[in-house]
Amino acid sequence: MSTPLPVLSLLETRVLGVLAEKQRTVPDSYPLTLNSLVSGCNQKTSRNPVLELTESQVQAAIDSLKGYSLVAETSGGRAYRYEHNIDRVLRIPSQSVILLTVLMLRGPQTAGELRIACDRMHNFADISSVEGFLNELAERPAGALVVKLARLPGARESRWAHLLSGAPAEEVAGPGSASSDAAYAPHDVSLGEVAALKANVARLETEVASLKALLGRVCSELGISETN
């Protein structure tokens, strides 16, 4: 009987997703150094939400993921490098790993959006192929890894979300379900969202403290009071 996975934070899924993405898109640089991993986590494109993580935050996520055997550390050259073990731990094929990767990095996507977003990592023959792997992930005997969300108003397709961070806040699609205002109802903030907000607040507090110190030095040099 397989051990159930813990609920991963937003920072942990970001690190895991970046490792899986870069394995396919820049194989010559994989496994990744901490510096490369931080850059991938803070990338402005193909990321939702966009984050600004520090090395210490990424290292903490790595250490946590190592405890779950989802990430392994290798020594090569002058720096430690890191690789993911998603396929071995979850026992899923590479195509499913790629779909989870995009969902971790970009958030909920339709099958059509996933096919386009996965293109650099794997060329799915058609949308039906994508849906086939998604359905396998949703019906996985050891525990579902993705879920189909209720269709948004005016949308032609339903979106899919990963379950590595627990159940999504949005309404899950049911048999014959249509769009619902419930998808837009206020909901509790997830642990991952809280972690991201805390990281941004800490960064802003540091920047404010630096600006205050700079202002103090300037005022001192000019011989004026900071309150003027």
Specify the residue for token string 């309150």: 227
Closest to 46 (Cα-Cα) out of 95, 127, 101: 101
What is the span of the domain harbouring residue 134?
92-184
Whether residues 158 and 127 fall in one domain: yes
Sheet with 109-110: list strands edge to edge: 109-110, 159-162, 146-148
The model's pTM is 0.75
Q: What is the mean pLDDT of each run of 10 residues along the chain (228 residues)?
A: 78 98 97 98 97 97 97 87 97 98 98 97 96 98 95 92 91 54 40 56 67 77 69
Sheet with 32-33: list strands edge to edge: 32-33, 79-84, 71-76
Whether residue 197 lies inside any domain: the answer is no
Domain of 140, CATH number, reads 1.10.10.10
* Cβ contact 97:147 at 8 Å: no
The pLDDT, as a whole number, for residue 179 is: 39
Last residue of a domain, one of 167, 184, 201: 184
Whether residue 2 lies inside any domain: the answer is no
The Cα 180–Cα 168 span in angstroms is: 15
How many separate domains does the chain show?
Answer: 2
